[in-house]
Amino acid sequence: MTPDELEKFRKLLLQWREDLLSTSAVRDESSGTVHLDQQSVGRLSRMDAMQSQELAKANKVRAERQLKLITAALVRIDNDEYGECRQCGEVINPKRLEIDPTSLHCIDCAR
């Protein structure tokens, strides 16, 4: 992979990481404990609030996993290992990396 391609992917990963980190406070707040006054809020509203909380928790877990994958991809760039399939060692198609810059495997090994 050329230095220009590596820099392009580094910038893409850094921007993705920044986007995830900038919304982390909202995810943390949304996934917090649901406090509802049972006197003034109906049963369905409480259920909706709890469902929203569970979705927020799942989004938080997904974002944390994505941050770990992004960090690992940035380390691979620094170690000149980015874009190499972890299983067979072949070059991962740059178009695949444009779709998911954290990809660890070429399309054949991913199957």
Tell whether 79 is covered by a domain.
yes
In a domain, 18, yes or no: yes
Spatial distance between the Cα atoms of 47 and 74, rounded to a whole number of angstroms:
41
Q: Which residue segment(s) compose the domain that 20 sits in? A: 3-84
What pTM was computed for the model?
0.76
Confirm whether 51 is domain-assigned. yes
Nearest to 104 by CA among 55, 58, 60, 70: 70
pLDDT at 42: 63
* Within a domain: 37: yes
- Is 95 within a domain? no
Q: Is residue 100 part of a domain?
A: no
What is the pLDDT, as a whole number, of residue 80? 94
Question: Each residue's pLDDT tens digit in the chain (111 positions)?
Answer: 899 999 999 999 999 999 999 887 666 665 556 555 555 556 667 777 778 888 888 988 999 999 999 999 999 999 999 999 999 999 999 999 999 999 999 999 999
Q: CA 23 to CA 92: how far, in whole Å?
A: 30
d(CA 42, CA 37): 9
In a domain, 71, yes or no: yes
- For residue 111, tell me if it sits in a domain: no
How many structural domains does the chain have?
1
pLDDT of 12: 96
| pLDDT at 36 (0 to 100) | 56
Pick from 78, 76, 74, 60: which is nearest to 21 by CA?
Answer: 60
Structure token pair of residue 69: 């994958």
Structural contact between residues 92 and 85, judged by C-beta atoms closer than 8 angstroms: yes
